[in-house]
Amino acid sequence: MSNNEKSHRTGGLHIGEPAPGCAKTDPMLIIDHVKKSFGGLTAVDVEHLEIPKNAITALIGPNGAGKTTLFNLLTGFDSPDTGTWSFEGTSLAGIPAFKVAQLGQVRTFQLTKALSLLTVLENMKLGATGQRGEGILSSLIPALWRKQDAEIEIKAMELLARFKLDTKKDDFAASLSGGQRKLLEMARALMTDPVLVMLDEPMAGVNPALTQSLLDHVINLKKDGMTVLFVEHDMHMVRHIADWVVVMAEGKVVAEGPPETVMKEQAVIDAYLGSHQDTDLGVVTGRINIIPEEGK
């Protein structure tokens, strides 16, 4: 573990015993009775959950536990059967995805959604929302949207430089490796200056050469004042950078706590880690590529 990782752990996040649904000292997301079924299958059934502010929270659990479905519900990409949730005190139930993003809560996808036939820079520009050029009045004044387009491009290039993708700005997204596409998605999510960044398996498909830089990028989001909630099967990543871990199984939150303690709990070992607890799950999750990435 690098010093960077150690010195940036945030403690004192919860009130009382760390148990499923425990209160946080400064919650950013508060979720109540959120339930979603597909046919006869209950994918998500979260009684109560609070996500701490300005911390890195890992959401873990076996395949099919409901992690991605919960992300979809919280970000307005799907709607629950029941339940309410709030983001910095604002109720988000029924709010569409684009509006959720405008409010400062963005997410990335388990399967990256970079648009292959657009360039890297064009993908970044699409990440900018609330463009003045979209308004009827301002669209009649080209000087206004031209100025705005220039501002967006400057911001996009700054972010691309930070993620070491600036030299690829004119390449089609299709030509990027899996790991670079993950980085592009993270960079694009930052175009809207979010306060909460939700990452669905940021390490999946990422070549080991890029993993440290990805970890550093996530730690830097917190340093820049953002809150991070990420889904990950890679226990290395969870142990090294998470301040708090929430464990889901069969749609429910079965445990939560700091990484050192929660991963030793019997319920967690039973539900998830099993005999794999000391093995790197990279191969299972695709982090270690069986098919080499382009250019490797």
56: left (phi over 0), alpha (psi -120 to 50) or beta: beta
Among candidate residues 61, 97, 63, the one with its CA nearest the CA of residue 78: 97
Give every CB contact of residue 48 below 8 A, 6+ residues apart in sequence.
Answer: 21, 30, 31, 32, 33
Residue nearer to ligand ATP on the CB measure, 181 or 222: 181
Selection from ligand ATP, Mg ion, none that 211 binds (CB < 5 to 8 A by kind) is none
Shortest spacing between CB 55 and ligand ATP, in angstroms: 21
Contact flags string 69-108 toward ligand ATP, x per CB under 6 A: x---------------------------------------
68 binds Mg ion (CB under 5 A): yes
Round to whole Å and give the CA distance between 212 and 240: 11
Residue nearer to ligand ATP on the CB measure, 53 or 67: 67
- Residue 292 is classified by DSSP as P
Shortest spacing between CB 110 and ligand ATP, in angstroms: 6
Residue nearer to ligand ATP on the CB measure, 151 or 280: 280
43 binds ligand ATP (CB under 6 A): yes
Selection from Mg ion, ligand ATP, none that 49 binds (CB < 5 to 8 A by kind) is none
Round to whole Å and give the CA distance between 10 and 172: 38
Contact flags string 102-121 toward Mg ion, x per CB under 5 A: --------x-----------
Residue nearer to Mg ion on the CB measure, 51 or 152: 51
Beta strands in 16-171 (DSSP E): 27-38, 41-52, 56-60, 82-87, 90-91, 105-107
Shortest spacing between CB 78 and ligand ATP, in angstroms: 8
285 binds Mg ion (CB under 5 A): no
119 binds ligand ATP (CB under 6 A): no
Round to whole Å and give the CA distance between 167 and 56: 30
How many amino acids of this chain bind Mg ion (CB under 5 A)?
3
Burial tier of 125 (Cβ tally within 10 Å: 0-12, 13-18, 19+):
middle
283 binds ligand ATP (CB under 6 A): no
Round to whole Å and give the CA distance between 124 and 160: 8
Shortest spacing between CB 182 and Mg ion, in angstroms: 14
What is the amino acid identity at position 99? K
Round to whole Å and give the CA distance between 58 and 238: 6
Residue nearer to ligand ATP on the CB measure, 100 or 231: 231
Residue nearer to ligand ATP on the CB measure, 30 or 60: 60
Round to whole Å and give the CA distance between 230 and 245: 10
Residues in contact with ligand ATP by CB under 6 A are 38, 41, 43, 61, 63-69, 110
Residues in contact with Mg ion by CB under 5 A are 67-68, 110
